[in-house]
Structure 1
Amino acid sequence: MTNGAKRTRTRRDLWLLGGTAVVLLALVIAVVISRIGSDDQDHAAPARSGASDAAKTYGPLGDLSRREPDDRRALGPVDAPVTMVVFSDFRCPFCAEYSREIEPKLIDRYVDSGQLRIEWRDQPLFGEQSELAAQAGWAAAAQDRFWPFVHEVYRDAPTTGHPDLPIEALVARAKAAGVPDLDRFRRDTLSGRHAADIAEDTAPAKQFGIIGVPAFVIDGEPIIGVRPLEVYTGIIDEHLSAR
């Protein structure tokens, strides 16, 4: 790839990230304004089944968690006091950066101690290969290797641009992730059987105008793009202290 093409792709990635921040900021402001004058009951939502019975306060986007006990694309206990929903694309360089640099620290600090649950949502934005990779994620999850597959895809991902992820590359990543039945993985990935699941994942992003990745919603509080670790921990700690 020429230097000019690289600069063009980088500008496109940064434009997408910046546009997302503007859209979501406008949304958050609108939601907050709409709540002015409401009583405290409008700012609280009951905890989901399996979580604490105490009333819980959420940020402006509300509770986007599912807390499904058999969700293989989630990390952390179903009754964790705080949840973080992550909207991701397997071909997104910023998502790869989060996976390599931020996520392990959040797991060590909060997930392993039962304080945080992380739930994945597909947000395939970068063409047919992103859609195929999302299907591959579900195929890996069916064999209980979703997170190893995620980490293999992101491990050597470029810092800019979007990696090529045809079916052979996805099978190679699945093999490295320890997916036991690669023929089944290939069939499941190419079948398109999870199109409805992927559409369900993207629905909240469309509802709230999230047009880029990665995007994070921590108990209703949005974060757009990869931010310093302290941004995530600050919001998580705030919601933990409110319990």
Structure 2
Amino acid sequence: MSLTRSGATRRFLLAFAAVLCVAPFAAHAQAAKPGPAHDAGKETVDALMAAPPLPDVWLGSPDAPVTIIEYASMTCGHCARFEDEVFPILKKKYIDTGKVRYTMREFPLDPLAAAAAMLARCSGDKRQAMIELLFTQQKNWAYVDKPLEALRDVVKQTGIGPKEFDACLNNQSMFDKVSQERNIAAQKFGIDATPTFFINGDKKTGEIPPDALDGVLAPYLKK
């Protein structure tokens, strides 16, 4: 698979690959896996809610009784399925009704996922729309022979042209923050697979099927 097209994107990919070598993680582990001993415990609200390197983009009421933080990778097929099959139900039934407050944090599994995460951030207030687009079109850019070229074509729909594309991937500050967010998640919260959810501090690794969503959230809404 050829990832590079220009010197700029090649430098980005090599730099992020170096980050992965320094702090490796399960790059292809998209399903639930056992993690460190503390994974089974409940993370403190303060630790999870501490300001991350990249500002959280919240959906839902600040007064919602349930807070969900999802760590996801843009190249994760399970994450794409959650976005396509489960998130619309979550939003309509729980977020829009004031029951759930939700945010997605970046946990790129590979350099291509990091590039997609950066592009979503570079789209500003269109980030959520960009995330939905990239997940919907995932098979058209993440699993092709020239994914970066395909990614360029996909994000054109949001107004990001070739110059903006390269400028985003060469934004050192953005690059550092994406790397830091991933490393904090891995080192502090023991994340080694995507998607990983924290529901009011309780950790749940792996997919939540559409027909299981109500059952997962019901205990928290009764408290």
Q: Give the TM-score of the pair, scaled to structure 2.
A: 0.72
- Compute the displacement of 1:153 (Å): 0.9
Output aligned runs, 1:86-101, within 5 Å.
86-101=70-85
Corresponding residue for residue 90 of structure 2: 106
Kept in 1, the 8 Å contact 2:59–2:101? The answer is yes
Select the structure of larger CA radius of gyration. 1
Change (3 A) 1:195 1:180: closer
In structure 2, the residue matched to 1:44 is none
Q: Label 1:191 to 1:167 Cα distance change in 2 as closer, same or farther (>3 A).
A: farther
Give the 3-state SS of the residue equivalent to 2:152 in structure 1.
helix
Residues 28-74 of structure 1 show CA distances to partners (whole Å, capped at 9, x for unaligned) of 44x4xxxxxxxxxxxxxxxxxxxxxxxxxxxx123224689xx5733
- Alignment RMSD, CA only? 3.2
Question: What is the CA–CA distance in structure 1 between the aligned matches of 2:221 and 2:199, rounded to whole Å?
Answer: 11
Name the CA shift for 1:163/1:102 in 2 (closer, same or farther; >3 Å).
same
Q: Which residue does 1:85 correspond to in 2?
A: 69
1:80-139 alpha-carbon deviations (Å, 9 max, x no partner): 22111111111111111111011111001111112211111111112x212211211211
Q: Secondary structure at the match of 2:102?
A: strand
Runs of 4+ in 1 over 6 A off after TM superposition: none
Question: Residue 128 of structure 2 corresponds to which residue in structure 1?
Answer: 147
Give TM-score, length-normalised by structure 1: 0.67
Task: Give the structure 2 partner of residue 195 of structure 1.
Answer: 175
Q: 1:218 to 1:231 in 2, by over 3 A?
A: farther
Tell me the residue number matched to 2:119: 136
Identity of aligned residues (%): 23
Higher relative contact order, structure no. (Cα contacts within 8 Å, ≥ 6 residues apart): 2
User: Could you tell me how far apart the structure 2 residues matched to 1:222 and 1:231 are?
Assistant: 16
- Structure 2 regions of 5+ residues with no counterpart? 2-25
The answer to whether the 8 Å contact 1:65/1:83 transfers is: no
Match of 1:16, SS? coil
Aligned pair in 2 of structure 1 residues 120, 150: CA closer, same or farther (>3 Å)?
Answer: same
Closer/same/farther in 2, CA of residues 67 and 219 from structure 1, 3 Å limit: farther
1:146: Cα distance to partner? 0.8
Secondary structure of the 1:223 match is strand
C-alpha displacement at 1:223, in angstroms? 1.5
Tell me the residue number matched to 2:5: none
1:137-216 alignment, distance < 5 Å:
137-140=120-123, 142=124, 144-158=125-139, 162-164=142-144, 166-176=147-157, 178-179=158-159, 183-202=163-182, 203-216=184-197
Q: Is the 8 A contact 2:69 2:199 kept in 1?
A: yes
Q: Is the partner of 1:193 in helix, strand or coil?
A: helix
Question: May I ask how many residue pairs the two structures share in their alignment?
Answer: 193
Aligned residue number for residue 22 of structure 1: 34
